[in-house]
Amino acid sequence: MKTKWLLFLLLIPLFACTTQSTFPLSKAEKDKIQGEVKAAANEIRKACDEVNADALIGAVLDSPDFLYMMNGNVITHKEFVENVKPIFAEMKSQKITILDEQFAFPDNTSVLYVANYTDTVHYKDGRVTLDESGIWTMLFKNTDKGWKMAYGSETFITRPLIDKSTGGLNQMELVKQFAGTWKGEMGKDTSFVWSSNGVFTDNVLLFDLKMMVKGKPVSEGKSSVVYDKRSGKFIETEHIKGSDPVVYAWWFTADNMINSVMIHDIATPDKAAMNATLEFGKDGTAKQVFYKSEKEVWSVNYTRQK
């Protein structure tokens, strides 16, 4: 009989432990947990601001069930650890600003944290970017080491604020080098001609474009260029009759050198699959070189006609 009573007494705490998580939380309990989870979320934000990879890794749950999603890309805990350090190694600092945050309580051992935010990132190479419309979702689990992020998700839109290559150069002054009519030999009997006065009128710089074969135009078009002060880059839209418009971003990297990329690569020009350079010579010449995956694939030599 004593054995039965002893077994019954041992089952009481076990029963209490297995049913405790089903009890509804009081407001006081929710407030306490919310404060703890907010502190855990702040530690993650602080680790990001200080680009402290070890602190960020220590704030997440080391589990095969851990998942993190960034703009649709899902990674495991192992991949998270492998990616954080090289990403942070490119940064000097970042500043995450929480615009608002909310908490939900799926059960007594987990809390869902959702925040709207912006993030300004300063890179070691001089670039500065802004992540806008950010939504950060984190599921925190209560462990013997405190609240840890068991799942995370980020979505945001990135735009450049400053690029290392534009610093200290008067872009609007240097663009005057485009003035004139320039002819580039594209192949046998084929040339490409562009002309401009090199002056912005109503904040727009215009180019006339012609593809010539044996001295006669076979296609014509125009380009319109505007200057984006926030990024320090020129945005060019090229319209060739019979073709879809093409949009580029370009900027001076030196007094006589331009780099250009397609508009969708403007935020990360150093990672663009394709780019081109244009170098002005002192003798009325210019050379344009096209690159694919950092390898030169084509070049065109131009001379100023007038």
pLDDT of amino acid 51: 95
Q: How far apart (Å, rounded) are the C-alpha atoms in residues 68 and 56?
A: 13
The residues near 196 (Cβ < 8 Å, ≥ 6 apart) are 178, 179, 180, 205, 206, 207, 208
CB 265 within 8 A of CB 271: yes
pLDDT band at 195 (very low <50, low <70, confident <90, very high): very high
pLDDT of amino acid 9: 39
Q: Which comes out higher in pLDDT, residue 22 or 238? A: 238
Sheet bearing 110-123, strands edge to edge: 73-76, 67-70, 146-162, 128-143, 110-123, 91-107
CA 99, 101, 63: angle at the middle one, nearest 5?
Answer: 120
Q: How many Cβ atoms sit within 10 Å of the Cβ of residue 94?
A: 19
Lowest mean pLDDT among 9-13, 50-54, 95-99, 229-233: 9-13
pLDDT tens digits, residue range 128-158?
Answer: 888 999 999 999 999 999 999 999 999 999 8
pLDDT tens digits, residue range 41-83?
Answer: 999 999 999 999 999 999 999 999 999 999 889 999 999 999 9
Residues in the chain: 306
